[in-house]
Amino acid sequence: MTSLSDVKKELGDIVIDDPKILEEYSKDYSLSQARKPIFVLRPSNEDEVCKIIKTANKYLIPIVPRSSRIGFYGASIPSESAMVLDLSLMDKILDIDEKNRIARIEPGVTWEKLQKELERYDLMALNPLLPHPLKSALTSHLEREPHLIPRQEYKEPLYSVGVILPTGEKLRTGIADIPQYQEKFHTPHPPRPVTMNFRRLFQGAQGTLGVVTWAAIKIEYLPRVNRLYFIPFTNLQDAIEATYKILRKVIGNECFILNSFNMALIIRSLMGKPIEYFEELRKILPAFTLILCLSGGRRLPEEKIEYEEEALMNIAADLGFEPLPTLCGISGLDKLFLSVLRKPWPPDKTYWKLNYKGLFKDIFFITTLDRTPMYTTLMYEMAVKHKYPVEDIGIYIQPLEQGRACHCEYGLHFNPDKPEEVEMVNNFFRKASEILILNGAFFSRPYGEWSSMVFNRCASYFMALKKLKEVFDPNRIMNPGKLCL
């Protein structure tokens, strides 16, 4: 029988067993079932992570990696009795290579810390839409969260990674596995004929195949000049047509679509306005807004914006839309968005997704831009069927790789203190997800309830993952119960 006192003795000060702290780690912002961990383990370096994993193997106690205190999908809540491996103390920015535009970071580095440090070098990371300031930047890259600039050259923002395998051994991917390159990881692949990069095994795996202790990520120069445009549309189809045209001309940096609900919620949250302001604003905002930022870098920035603006206005004339510096007469709206576009959500303000009813559940998947109107119609039909207010669905569409595909996201908001709302949203979430999958939506991150929906439909893939798990983690100690493992 496993003696927990033996585990504490071997791991020493790394172990935390305070009941109040264990309670904090039993849940996140999702509706996933709460479960207290046996211990919380807080290592401060790779060697301590290795020691923890070897001890977990010795006593056959599962561990659940966690990079920050922020979670929205239940990925770091134990599915069974386990210890939580909190990596937040490993928060060093190990290297910033300005010339090659690469940063090497540990898992505890938050978006707030990363962007603030990069600004000192006139650089920026490729961030998703208004991430939580306490969210781990490394985890965002592992989860393949879409970033706001849909350029082809940014499709692979994650390069080399350092991983502690479930056996406690260290693995370096890409050029980092060559001794003479141990301290500089400037390319995603080593200079050899074989170009397979094992980092893909650990992306989206929720810590089921190893613990990533650092990552080399793509960064970029901060633009010197910016011009933000809001392009209003009364229907999504027209917004999609304009987006295709703009992306084919390779115009602008940040480019994405929000519906009136998300636009109003972001504006209200940034401005600190009361809920009444939000209710009035979403009634007068356009149904959909394409947000496009024209940017000039270190070489001839004004000239670059000038020719991009000319191309934009030509497209606008052809399609009959009007790029605007603001919406609904809101003074300084372009400056307001520019102030947060390349930063995490301001830490002194309530996170925007939590600022309507208290909690939310997102349905997100990969598809092509031209199919998003069809999926939106399906969502509206399902909302009516489940008595969810159609006007309360937040829509965010992020083009990927110059419009080759897109991230499509629907936000469902509810009051966690009202059981009837929780039940209604849960039912809507499940049924809508099933309908979307049946109609070709690709759930690239099948977490939580999506796991069985996705893996039950692909038996051969499920078996392949199961075999990988047996090879990498024979004692099944790494976050068991997540994905299909």
The answer to whether residue 193 scores a pLDDT higher than 90 is: no
For residue range 124-154, list pLDDT tens digits in order: 999 999 999 999 999 999 999 999 999 999 9
Residue type, 431: K
Predicted confidence at residue 118, as pLDDT, reads 97
Q: What is the C-alpha to C-alpha distance for residues 41 and 53, in angstroms, rounded to an integer?
A: 11
Which tens digit of pLDDT belongs to each residue from 234-253?
999 999 999 999 999 999 99
The contacts of residue 299 (CB under 8 Å, 6+ apart) are none
User: Given this model, what pLDDT does residue 1 score?
Assistant: 47
Write down the pLDDT at residue 181.
56
Spatial neighbors of 330 by CB under 8 A, at least 6 apart, are 267, 336
pLDDT of residue 31: 84
pLDDT at 261: 98
242, 265, 269: which is closest to 255 by C-alpha? Answer: 242
158-183: per-residue pLDDT in tens?
Answer: 999 999 999 999 998 876 666 655 55
* Structure letter (DSSP) for residue 168: S
Q: Which tops the pLDDT comparison, 185 or 75?
A: 75
Query: What percent of the chain clears pLDDT 70, i.e. is strictly above it?
Result: 95
Q: DSSP per residue over 282-312, as a string?
A: HHHS-SEEEEEEEEE-SSSHHHHHHHHHHHH
CA angle (83 as vertex; 82, 89 as ends), nearest 5: 155
Please count the CA atoms within 13 angstroms of the CA of 338 that sit on its side-chain side: 20
Q: What is the pLDDT of residues 58-106, one digit of tens each?
A: 999 999 999 987 888 888 899 889 999 999 999 999 999 999 999 999 9
- Between CA 382 and CA 375 the distance in angstroms is 11
pLDDT at 341 over 90: yes
Average pLDDT value over all residues in the chain: 92
Torsion of CA 260, 261, 264, 267, to 10 degrees: -110
Average pLDDT value for residue range 185-193: 50
pLDDT computed for residue 448 by the predictor: 86
Q: Dump pLDDT digits (tens) for 368-413.
A: 999 999 999 999 999 999 999 999 999 999 999 999 999 999 999 9
Helix 333-341 vs helix 260-271: crossing angle, to nearest 10: 90
Question: pLDDT at position 69, please?
Answer: 78
**The whole model's pTM is what?**
0.94
Structural domains in the chain, sorted by start: 4-86 (3.30.43.10), 93-221 (3.30.465.10), 225-438 (3.40.462.10)
The predicted model gives 216-228 an average pLDDT of: 96
Structure confidence at residue 485 as a pLDDT band (50, 70, 90) = confident
Bridge partner list, 212? 163
* Nearest-angstrom CA–CA distance, 14 and 276: 48
